[in-house]
Structure 1
Amino acid sequence: MPIKIPKELPAFTVLSKENIFVMNIERAKTQDIRPLKIAILNLMPMKIQAENQLLRYLSNTPIQVEITLLQTKTYTSQNTPIEHLEKFYNYFDEVRDKKFDGLIITGAPVETMDYEDVDYWDELKEIMEWSKNNVFSTLHICWGAQAALYYHYNIVKKILKNKIFGVFEHRINKEKEDLTRGLDDIFYAPHSRHTTISKEDIERVKELDILSESEEAGVFIIITKDKRQIFITGHLEYDRDTLKNEYLRDLNKGLKIDIPKNYFPKDNIKNEPLVKWRGSANIVFGNWLNYCIYQNTPFMIENIK
């Protein structure tokens, strides 16, 4: 099942070596089908790493997936080569007149800031408003989920005394929902955040359903009843070493940070972390593409509204 990306994008080589089916644009042009058009607003500082993580799971699709990478104009990443951004990324102004089957808004390391103090907040608000009529289904991740719940429903985040950091058990609240179809009764997902949102605040909004939550990590997957807005508070897309690298980064900065929970075998950082969430990530991203988008998005993409 192919994902359609430029051959020069680093993810093409990375995923090909993992025996994941990626298709270059030249080959895709010979196939007489309409690809799903998915935009990714990448707010993560390590953009290439985030690309690889997301594209790995978007590759598990029934048809071609055509990716458009977006960056903010009001803030330029300091951790990604400018040559990479100029070659592979678009600004919102370049796509505002287009329609997309799906949009992913990633997390960002700004969670302890007030939303209004984030450099690109006004631009992000414009994109989130635009998504309501120009994207069939939008998937928000971690801070992106909190920001969207605040913008669309005025649900505020709350600062935690201790960071939610590690790999946690989750359970399904509604077994027959398309997005969580196929997940085990208990499944795992990574979290890395200093803030949270209240279950009670979400339950006050009639348009929202909580599909999954964790006793330790709180609410996990929230969805609108029409499946066009999805909010995931953790990081199913994370690689094996992502939490390890975040932990070592903070240690090297002299920050107070606890070892990630349920991550290193025997809590020994010399032991390689065990991936316990890959199957769940494949299911959730695959269900989003298939049930929330492919089965329902208009064939004539200009009819999205």
Structure 2
Amino acid sequence: MPIKIPDDLPACAALQAEGVVIMRETDAVRQDIRPLRFGLLNLMPDKIRTETQIARLLGATPLQVELSLIRITNHVPRNTSTDHMGAFYRAWEDVRRETFDGFIVTGAPVEKMPFEEVSYWDELCAVFDWTQSHVHSCLNICWAAQAAVHHFHGVPKHILPAKAFGVYRHRNLAPASPYLRGFSDDFSIPVSRWTEVRREDLPPDGGLRVLMDSPEIGLCLLEDPAHRSLHMFNHIEYDSDTLRNEYVRDAAKDETTALPHGYFPDDDPTRPPENRWRSHAHLLFANWINQIYQTTPFDIARIGQADAA
């Protein structure tokens, strides 16, 4: 089945060109089935690119998915037009009485700041608490994953001596997990962060389970059953050229910027990078969506009530 997104969202054209099946809102209303409702709280600077990345992965499922784009209520993004935000995004304050089968919170370019100094930290904490009664399952990515683990478990983040930047090999530590069904024993995932969460800081009584890690750059994916969440510290959703764009941006500011690890063939930035993580990105999202489909209440109004029970 296709993904349902707003008719004029810029991601539509890009996804259709890739063969992703798009369902227009005007067509979706004619189908007598309940789509899975997903919310995307998009904190990334390039919101249009992030929308496309997430919609691509949600749209690969055989289930019908309805995606709602959500923003922090009083935060004005600097890198996306007000017309785009006004046309396609709703403030969290306007959706907080709604329920969602799945909810995604992205990373944000604030990871070097203490959590409490981020201008929208209080609202983000309120969002995390709200997910416990209005969302069946959450996926927090990169900085949002660090923020959620800090909020729910008091786990600190640590600033790295140099940016973890590139494509790194990871290990499947839980082959029997429904979220890693079909995963290889090892695989590659893009990484782009200045901070990390360390295994030794995880509370022994918190119920957190490490599903993926990397010998080189540490934790990658945590399962948090008590909060019905997955915490992904890296960027499995990235496009083939996302790290290249980040490298070009950073190198323009600082010519000593290091090449992303394991990304360009033979470390030659003039050669196009090879995507070695695409299939595992689709697999992770498909497994997560399938797990939601198997366990979410058919009556969406019972989300939160049924989860609490």
CA distance in structure 2 between the partners assigned to 1:205 and 1:242 by the alignment? 37
Shift of 1:6: 1.4
Residue identity opposite 2:7 in structure 1: K
Separation (CA, whole Å) in 1 of partners of 2:43 and 2:206? 29
1:187 aligns with 2:190: no
- Does 2:258 align with 1:258? yes
Q: Distance in 2 between matches of 1:171 and 1:275?
A: 18
Report the AA paired with residue 204 of structure 1.
P
Moved more, 194-203 or 156-165: 194-203
Amino acid at match of 1:299: F
Please list every run of 5 or more consecutive structure 2 residues that lacks an aligned counterpart in the other structure. 305-309
CA shift at 1:205, angstroms? 3.9
- Identity score, percent: 43
1:43 maps to: 43
Is residue 2:117 matched to residue 1:111? no
Q: Per-residue displacement from partner, 1:118-166 (whole Å, max 9, x unpaired)?
A: 1111110111110111100010000000000000100000000011100
Does 2:67 align with 1:67? yes
Superposition deviation, residue 228 in structure 1: 1.2
Map 1:195-206; keep pairs closer than 5 Å.
195-202=195-202, 204-206=204-206
Instruction: Report the CA distance shift for 1:217/1:94 in structure 2 as closer, same or farther (over 3 A).
Output: same
After superposition, where does 1:110-189 map in structure 2 within 5 Å? Answer: 110-189=110-189
CA drift of 1:109 comes to: 0.5
CA distance in 2, matches of 1:126, 1:227: 14
Q: How does 1:198-237 map to 2 (within 5 A)?
A: 198-202=198-202, 204-225=204-225, 228-237=228-237
Hey, what's the Cα distance between the residues in 1 that align with 2:297 and 2:23?
24
State the partner residue of 2:300.
301
**CA displacement 1:22-77 (0-9 Å, x = unmatched):** 11011111211100000000000110010001101010123211111011123211
Partner of 2:26: 26
Question: What TM-score do you get using the length of structure 1 for normalisation?
Answer: 0.97
- CA contact under 8 A between 2:132 and 2:227: conserved in structure 1? no
**Which amino acid in the other structure matches residue 286 of structure 1?**
A
Residues 232-255 of structure 1: CA deviation (Å, up to 9, x unaligned) = 000011001100010110111126
Cα distance in structure 2, aligned partners of 1:147 and 1:43: 12
Can you give the 5+ residue segments of structure 1 that lack an aligned partner in the other structure?
none
Q: CA deviation at 1:87?
A: 0.4
Q: Secondary structure of the equivalent of 1:295?
A: helix
TM-score (norm 2): 0.96
Counterpart-to-counterpart distance in 2, 1:155 and 1:165: 23
Q: CA deviation at 1:226?
A: 5.4
Distance 1:173 1:49, change over 3 A: same
**Greater mean alpha carbon deviation, residues 206-215 or residues 225-234:** 225-234
Checking the alignment, whether the CA contact within 8 Å between 1:74 and 1:123 is kept in structure 2 is no
**1:1-12 to 2 correspondence within 5 Å?**
1-12=1-12
Letter in 1 for 2:301: E
Total equivalences in the alignment: 304
- Give, in whole Å, the separation in 1 of the partners of 2:286 and 2:18: 18
Q: What code does the residue aligned with 1:285 have?
A: F
Secondary structure in structure 2 of the residue aligned to 1:138: strand
Query: Which letter does structure 2 place at the counterpart of 1:246?
Result: E
- The RMSD of aligned alpha carbons is 1.1
Distance 2:190 2:146 in 1: 16
DSSP 3-state at the match of 1:83: helix
Conserved 8 A contact 1:173-1:212: yes
1:206 CA drift (Å):
3.4
